[in-house]
């Protein structure tokens, strides 16, 4: 059966050999999965989730008890004062944009302390010209780069102590940067240090790909607000779209009034039948994130055995679900991504090719055979085509299909 599926014998043998060595790493993942499941189950019980909450509203969406209770459940699970979880957020980028436009005013300064934020925010901030950017409204942007994968404390504290910075952004996951993702411990340490010199700056965390990877979220270590996408971790592969903003109640209110309109805020927003999927997605999310992590850990160990350079290493502490593999070779990178597509449940007969995607300077290849368009909690792999030819792989709704997909991709390159 493996052979018929396109997995070579030597890959089956290697997988069998290395999987034994992963047991203790998987055990730790399972333990965190249980803790996060406990958080979710407790919240469902606290708010007595029942069939009633799976109802729907249309039009303005007034009095949507399912939506309002869903937000209470998310608030509880994420350790927030309040949150807004809506399908009217088109994506993570949209939620981040709503948050930034809600919190910042003309002449305010936004400071990123982990280098340049995620690529899609370039035009939002005005790093790349756009007539509707924050910059076009007179909002200033500054950034401090990481040093050796950690914060530049001297520069950050120096800048933050001058009190004219309105908002500090921390991005937990690495995006397409070559830096490492930031663990909760590192985020906690820098927030403590910032708070010692400035207690009114808004600390906002881009939490994309980070939820349920650890047993704590950024709000628990002092962040004011965090933002993430439901077609990544928290949607559990079931939410059809959407995103969330969670944290301080006053900030969530500002964000809600920017998403809808001043005076309307969270009171409106029809759910059009998705309440059940959002709740079921959250319910599945700890387990799906654990499957994604195991797929990444398996990939990392396999690739290391085969002489490639994976980051993080299989037993390294993880901050997100992303696994990178340095191929050092253009053709191998492309063949690997194509192999991931071939091993997917959806669109397995498509062959992804590098192309000139809008917004990127290099050609990009993207493999994703997903039930939900663009969902990257499902096994997916993408890469800018430039040396040293690094693939960014993430997701895996179940460990078993994630593992098989990776085995098929590896069979393409050896």
Ligand X SMILES: *Cc1c(COP(=O)(O)O)cnc(C)c1O
Coil, strand, or helix at residue 183? coil
In 7-62 the beta strands, taken as DSSP E runs, fall at none
Instruction: Kindly state the number of chain residues that form the binding site for ligand X, as judged by CB under 6 A.
Output: 12
* Contact assessment for residue 316 and residue 382, using Cβ atoms and an 8 Å cutoff: no
Q: Which is nearer to ligand X, 210 or 269 (CB)?
A: 210
Query: Site for ligand X (CB under 6 A): which residue of 37, 109, 120, 130?
Result: 120
- Residue window 99-118: x/- pattern of binding to ligand X, with contact defined by CB under 6 A: -------------------x
Question: Segment 82-101, which members bind ligand X (CB under 6 A)?
Answer: 91-93
Q: Which is nearer to ligand X, 69 or 323 (CB)?
A: 323
CA distance 411 to 369: 18
- Residue window 318-357: x/- pattern of binding to ligand X, with contact defined by CB under 6 A: ----------------------------------------
CA distance 392 to 311: 10
Six-digit token string for 287? 């387990």
- 394 forms part of the interface with ligand X (CB under 6 A): no
Question: Segment 179-238, which members bind ligand X (CB under 6 A)?
Answer: 206, 208-209, 229
Local structure of residue 54 (DSSP, 8 states): G
Stretch that binds ligand X, among 139-147, 170-178, 292-300, 402-410 (CB under 6 A): 170-178
Residues 6+ positions from 350 with CB-CB distance below 8 Å: 341, 369
CA distances from 346 to 238, 378, 380 (A): 15, 11, 11
Q: Which is nearer to ligand X, 175 or 310 (CB)?
A: 175
The pairing of strands 109-112 and 140-143 is parallel
* Contact assessment for residue 187 and residue 205, using Cβ atoms and an 8 Å cutoff: yes
Q: Smallest distance from the beta carbon of 292 to ligand X, in angstroms? A: 13
Q: Smallest distance from the beta carbon of 172 to ligand X, in angstroms? A: 7
Q: Nearest-CB residue to ligand X?
A: 92
Q: Which is nearer to ligand X, 64 or 214 (CB)?
A: 214
Q: Smallest distance from the beta carbon of 231 to ligand X, in angstroms? A: 6
CA distance 209 to 173: 6
Q: Which is nearer to ligand X, 244 or 308 (CB)?
A: 244
Query: DSSP labels for 244-272?
Result: EEEE-HHHHHHHHHHHS-TTTGGG----T
Name the residues that contact ligand X, by CB under 6 A. Answer: 91-93, 118, 120, 171, 173, 175, 206, 208-209, 229
């Amino acid at each position: 059966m493996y052979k018929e599926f396109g997995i070579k014998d030597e890959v089956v043998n290697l997988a069998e050999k290395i999987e034994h060595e992963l047991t203790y790493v998987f055990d730790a993942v399972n333990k965190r999965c249980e803790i996060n499941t406990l958080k979710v189950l407790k919240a469902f019980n606290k708010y007595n989730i029942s069939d009633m909450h799976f109802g729907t509203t249309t039009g303005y969406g007034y009095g949507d008890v399912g939506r309002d209770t869903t937000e209470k459940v998310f608030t509880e699970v994420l350790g927030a004062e309040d949150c807004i979880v809506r399908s009217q957020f088109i994506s993570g980028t949209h939620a981040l944009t709503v948050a930034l436009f809600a919190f910042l005013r003309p002449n305010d300064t936004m400071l990123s302390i982990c280098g340049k934020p995620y690529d899609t925010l370039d035009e939002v901030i005005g790093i790349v010209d756009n007539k509707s950017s924050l910059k076009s409204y007179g909002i200033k942007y500054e950034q401090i780069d990481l040093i050796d994968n950690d914060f530049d404390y001297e520069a950050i504290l120096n800048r933050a102590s001058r009190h004219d910075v309105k908002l500090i952004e921390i991005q937990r996951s690495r995006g397409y940067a070559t830096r490492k993702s930031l663990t909760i411990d590192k985020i906690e340490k820098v927030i403590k240090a910032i708070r010692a010199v400035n207690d009114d700056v808004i600390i906002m965390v881009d939490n994309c790909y980070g939820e349920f990877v650890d047993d704590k979220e950024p709000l628990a270590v002092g962040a004011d607000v965090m933002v993430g996408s439901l077609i990544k971790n928290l949607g559990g592969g079931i939410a059809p779209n959407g995103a969330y903003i969670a944290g301080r109640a006053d900030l969530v209110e500002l964000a809600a009034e920017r998403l809808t309109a001043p005076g309307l805020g969270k009171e409106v927003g029809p759910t059009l039948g998705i309440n059940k999927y959002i709740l079921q997605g959250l319910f599945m999310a700890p387990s799906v994130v654990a499957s994604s992590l195991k797929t990444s850990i398996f990939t990392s160990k396999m690739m290391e055995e085969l002489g490639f350079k994976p980051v993080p290493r299989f037993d390294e502490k993880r901050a997100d679900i992303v696994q990178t593999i340095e191929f050092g070779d253009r053709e191998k990178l492309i063949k690997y991504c194509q192999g991931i597509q071939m091993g997917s449940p959806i669109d397995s007969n498509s062959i992804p090719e590098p192309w000139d995607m809008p917004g990127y300077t290099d050609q990009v290849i993207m493999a994703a055979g997903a039930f939900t368009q663009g969902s990257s909690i499902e096994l997916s792999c993408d890469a800018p085509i430039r040396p040293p030819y690094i693939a960014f792989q993430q997701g895996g709704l179940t460990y078993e299909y994630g593992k098989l997909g990776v085995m098929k991709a590896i069979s393409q390159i050896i």
